[in-house]
Amino acid sequence: MTSNEAPGADDGASKVGPLPFDVTKAHQARMYDYYLGGKDNYAADRAAVDEHIKIYPDLVFTMRANRAFLGRAVRYLAGEAGIRQFLDLGTGIPTAGNLHEVAQAIAPESRVVYVDYDPIVLAHARALLDSNEAGATEYIDADLRDTGTILSQAANLLDFTKPVAVTLMSILHAIPDADDPFSIVAMLLDAVPSGSYLAISQFGEELMPAKAREALLGSTRRTSLQQYTSRTREQVARFFDGTDLVEPGLVPVEEWRLDPGAGGEGKSVYWCAVGRKR
Ligand SMILES: C[S@@+](CC[C@H](N)C(=O)[O-])C[C@H]1O[C@@H](n2cnc3c(N)ncnc32)[C@H](O)[C@@H]1O
């Protein structure tokens, strides 16, 4: 095993670099697509999700609440926070409310760099490149753990002397502790100036009862290409070292700056927060 592989890796899933295209195993991007009602998924993805929902039905609510959090966070960043540059890691298959659409609806000049390592996201990347004229978007086919390469390619579109919002929505639980996600996030934050933002959502250890979590991770070991690591609220807070959290701080995704009159439909298993770099 090299330092770039997670313990237990025997199928190449945790090697750094683009994922293989494999329809016999569930992929995170395609499972998420199925959760959100999309059509870019295969039988293995649907079977894994169906099994996961049987174990923990609120996963459906979680995925939808996560996507809604992404929308509210980007509206906050482009609106109140005045951010015009975004680096989005773990973009997923394009769907309603892609980040550049949300940001450019508020600030048409917004520039967005998308990053993912799944070939199915690359295959659909054209939908992410459909920027309006005033702004720009770019897609980088890369593994988050190849952080240095991502930062140097992103510099072709983003000006790293000006504030950037770094968004890591529902991706860090796919990075095992062995690959040191804390150093990856620290490296991303180091690359952006003071006044930049970090937004994260991540599978929360305390948000799902231990028995369900063990069953879920056991199912994932059998069915899925990627494996997941839940993290405690305290661990998620560590990602935000060097930032000040904007209100309401670190909360489940469905509680972050809810639109008036919304909410109360369920409980997610994802922590989230948005922090401003000091
Ligand atoms: C659940 S989707 C989230 C999509 C979107 N960020 C959202 O929250 O709506 C997570 C994405 O992260 C990608 N991903 C997971 N591990 C990655 C890695 N090491 N490098 C790049 N992308 C990764 C997956 O391929 C998938 O498309």
pLDDT tens profile 2-11:
333 333 333 3
Which tokens sit at 210?
Answer: 């231990």
The residue whose CB lies within 8 Å of the most ligand 1 atoms, and thus the one to mutate among 16, 140, 171, is 171
In whole angstroms, what is the distance from residue 82 CA to residue 62 CA?
28
Q: Name the residue of 25, 116, 146, 201 to mutate for ligand 1: max ligand atoms within 8 A of Cβ.
A: 116
User: What pLDDT is stored for residue 14 in this prediction?
Assistant: 63
Residue with tokens 């095992």: 176
Whole-number Å distance between alpha carbons of 18 and 21? 9
Cross-strand pairs, 199: 167, 274
Of 114-128, 130-144, 206-220, 257-271, which gets the smallest average pLDDT?
257-271
| Ligand 1 contact via 227 beta carbon (within 6 Å) | no
Number of separate helices (H) and strands (E) present in the chain: 9, 8
3-state DSSP assignment of residue 91: coil
Which residue bears the tokens 């250890």? 205
Ligand 1 contacts CB of residue 117 (under 6 A): yes
Say if ligand 1 is within 6 A of residue 28 CB. yes
User: How far is the centre of ligand 1, averaged over its atoms, from the C-alpha of 145 (Å)?
Assistant: 12
66-97 pLDDT, tens digit per residue, is 999 999 999 999 999 999 999 999 999 999 89
pTM above 0.85, yes or no: yes
pLDDT mean over 158-167: 98
Distance CA 27, CA 44 (A): 9
Query: From ligand 1's centre to the CA of 170, what distance in Å?
Result: 6
- Residue 75 CB–ligand 1 contact under 6 Å: no
What stretch of H or E contains 175? none
246: Cα within 13 Å, side-chain hemisphere = 18
Specify the pLDDT at position 9: 36
- N-to-C CA span, the chain: 38
Mean pLDDT, range 116-133, rounded to an integer: 94
